[in-house]
Amino acid sequence: MSESAASTGNRFRIIGRFHVSGVLGHGAMGTVYRGEDPLIGRTVALKVLSTELQPLLGEAEMREFHSHFLREAKAAGRLNHPNIVTIYDVGEYCGMPYIAMEFVPGLSLREYLDSGVVLPVRRIVEIGILVARGLDYAHQNEVVHRDIKPANLMLGRKGVVKIMDFGIARAPGRSEDGKLQGSPRYMAPEQIADRPVGPATDVHALGVTLYEALTGKLPFDAPDFRELADKVLHQEPPRPSTLNPDVPEGLDAIVMQALAKEPSARFRNMRAMAKALSAVRAELKRGEEEPPAGEDIGAEFSDPGLDQLQLAGSGSRLREELRRHLTRLALTRELDGPEQDSFGAHLLLYLVPPGHILFREGEASSYLGLLLEGELAVTKRGVDGQEQQLELLGPGMPFGEMSLLDAAPRSATLTALGACQIAVLSRRHFRRLCRERPELSVKLLLALGGLLTQRLRRTSDRLAHHS
């Protein structure tokens, strides 16, 4: 979930012992804040039930809603797994319950799908494996999530995936008559029909989530609940590969089995689904002639503006795409093929969602960026304190050139205007490149000098025009 700055309009400044420092997001049940635990210096996410619900519900309904909200802490608080968000504390503030949970820097899968960023098939498979492992652990502890969907899956850097929001989780088999629990478009047939649910219900929801991530479309959708229910109960969706030809046959079969109408026809448990997905991942790896691009250097590099982002994948197709970019970029188009390959081997490729700030004016950074796809806005604070746009960067343009030489603060703020793809060369790996290929590094520095001169000339002309 992307973070927005705290505003003076925040209702809560202190919740329990936690100091509120920002708003992370809003949901149907309440608001999630970023908080700091002053006792141990830990950053947490604070989920607080909305006070706006009080006038809308009667006293009995409000008590039931409180109980429903706190069920998240009871269900998830006893779960300890690397792919499940940890619950730290639960309490009540101003008559409203709150839950303090693990803060996961990053974006939800929902935010990635809505941004237009297309995740690679292998990354989607890896997400499915980790979610299945986390849910298998929960099921072994007799907890069914019941609301698996992209909004409840957080994606962090270096492959981190966390399941959150066990707010409607209960022991398997229990039901509340007449009350749908979950998000209708991700519901299994047994949820729609108000029949008992169990681990197979989460299998179905993960199948829907993978289907949407792979194709950009939901397997079942309709303008009203009655029509949606009919589709979920009686219709078969198209196979994912008919909408995305990059989906291999084995992955097609896994998703369709997860979407089976009868629970007994789905995977017998999440462990079996994770095993099947792992086999597909192994097959995808075998299709790569060399190690995935960036996979060996990503662990050595960290930057505040990049740590929340997803790497753009790996494999021969991605490397071919990178080679095409390098032949067109002003920085690298004069290099020969082997030189471009040597340079490309030191790059990390990132997917950037709209509105993401790669770096802010005044922050230190340590990488050169190359914009491969999309647009980036370069802005700077004026004397009046307002942001002024200095430049609009398009595909092929570099940014952060001086960061290869020193750690001086950035002179402007850089924001993605739409879904973007960038290539990053860290200062550490530029120095490694200098040791390995000194003649190549000289060519790159000369090209960078020319591009930087052009950039400064354009900026100077623009400022003179506005003065």
Q: Is residue 292 part of a domain?
A: no
The CA-based angle 69-230-248, given to 5 degrees, is 85
Domain final position from 286, 309, 338: 286
pLDDT at 316: 56
In this structure, the answer to whether residues 127 and 272 fall within a common structural domain is yes
pLDDT in tens, 99-113: 899 998 888 899 888
pLDDT over 50 (residue 449)? yes
pLDDT in tens, 199-244: 999 999 999 999 999 999 999 998 888 999 999 999 999 999 999 9
In this structure, the answer to whether residues 53 and 193 fall within a common structural domain is no
What are the residues facing 393 on neighbouring strands? 376
In this structure, the answer to whether residues 136 and 210 fall within a common structural domain is yes
Domain final position from 102, 123, 151: 102
Q: Is residue 141 part of a domain?
A: yes
CA of residue 83 relative to chain centroid, distance = 14
Q: How far is CA 384 from CA 8, 222, 307, 363, in A?
A: 21, 50, 32, 20
pLDDT at 426: 86
Which of 24-28, 94-98, 434-438 is least confident? 24-28
Q: Is residue 112 part of a domain?
A: yes
Upper half-sphere CA count for residue 107 (Cβ side, 13 Å):
23
In this structure, the answer to whether residues 98 and 115 fall within a common structural domain is no
Q: Is residue 176 part of a domain?
A: yes
In this structure, the answer to whether residues 265 and 133 fall within a common structural domain is yes
Q: Is residue 14 part of a domain?
A: yes
In this structure, the answer to whether residues 282 and 308 fall within a common structural domain is no
- 267 vs 53: which has the higher pLDDT: 267
In this structure, the answer to whether residues 125 and 271 fall within a common structural domain is yes
What is the rounded CA–CA span in Å between residue 204 and residue 265? Answer: 11
Characterise 95 by phi-psi region: left (phi > 0), alpha (psi -120 to 50), beta (else). left
Question: Domain of 60: which CATH number?
Answer: 3.30.200.20
Which of 54-68, 102-116, 400-414 is least confident? 54-68
Highest mean pLDDT among 21-30, 269-278, 312-321, 361-370: 269-278
In this structure, the answer to whether residues 125 and 57 fall within a common structural domain is no
Domain extent for 63: 4-102
Query: Under a CB-based contact definition with an 8 Å cutoff, are residues 265 and 258 in contact?
Result: no
Q: What does the pLDDT average to over 55-64?
A: 69
Total residues found in the chain within this entry: 467
Three-class SS of residue 321? helix
In this structure, the answer to whether residues 322 and 419 fall within a common structural domain is yes
Question: Domain of 353: which CATH number?
Answer: 2.60.120.10
Q: Is residue 291 part of a domain?
A: no
pLDDT in tens, 309-334: 877 765 556 667 778 888 877 788 78
Q: What does the pLDDT average to over 136-156?
A: 92
Average pLDDT, the chain: 82
147 in catalytic set:
yes
What is the rounded CA–CA span in Å between residue 182 and residue 180? Answer: 6
Q: Which is catalytic among the residues 136, 147, 165, 202?
A: 147
pLDDT at 130: 97
In this structure, the answer to whether residues 185 and 205 fall within a common structural domain is yes
Verdict on whether the full-model pTM lies above 0.85: no
Q: What does the pLDDT average to over 296-311?
A: 69
Q: Is residue 293 part of a domain?
A: no
- 306 vs 86: which has the higher pLDDT: 86
What is the rounded CA–CA span in Å between residue 186 and residue 198? Answer: 15
Query: Under a CB-based contact definition with an 8 Å cutoff, are residues 116 and 354 in contact?
Result: yes
Q: Is residue 314 part of a domain?
A: yes
**Residue type present at position 344:** G
In this structure, the answer to whether residues 176 and 265 fall within a common structural domain is yes
Confidence class for position 4, pLDDT limits 50, 70, 90: very low
Highest mean pLDDT among 146-150, 343-347, 416-420: 146-150
Domain final position from 286, 310, 344: 286
Compute the CA torsion angle 212, 273, 186, 151 (nearest 10 deg): -70
Percent of the chain with pLDDT over 90: 33
Query: Under a CB-based contact definition with an 8 Å cutoff, are residues 279 and 286 in contact?
Result: no
Question: Domain of 251: which CATH number?
Answer: 1.10.510.10
pLDDT in tens, 246-276: 999 999 999 999 999 999 999 999 999 999 9
pLDDT at 300: 55
In this structure, the answer to whether residues 379 and 397 fall within a common structural domain is yes
**DSSP letters of 268-312?**
SSHHHHHHHHHHHHHHHHHT-SSPPTTTTTGGG---TTTTTSEE-
What is the rounded CA–CA span in Å between residue 394 and residue 97? Answer: 47
Q: How many domains does the chain have?
A: 3
Confidence class for position 28, pLDDT limits 50, 70, 90: low
Confidence class for position 35, pLDDT limits 50, 70, 90: very high
What spatial distance separates the first Cα and last Cα of the chain, rounded to whole Å? Answer: 40
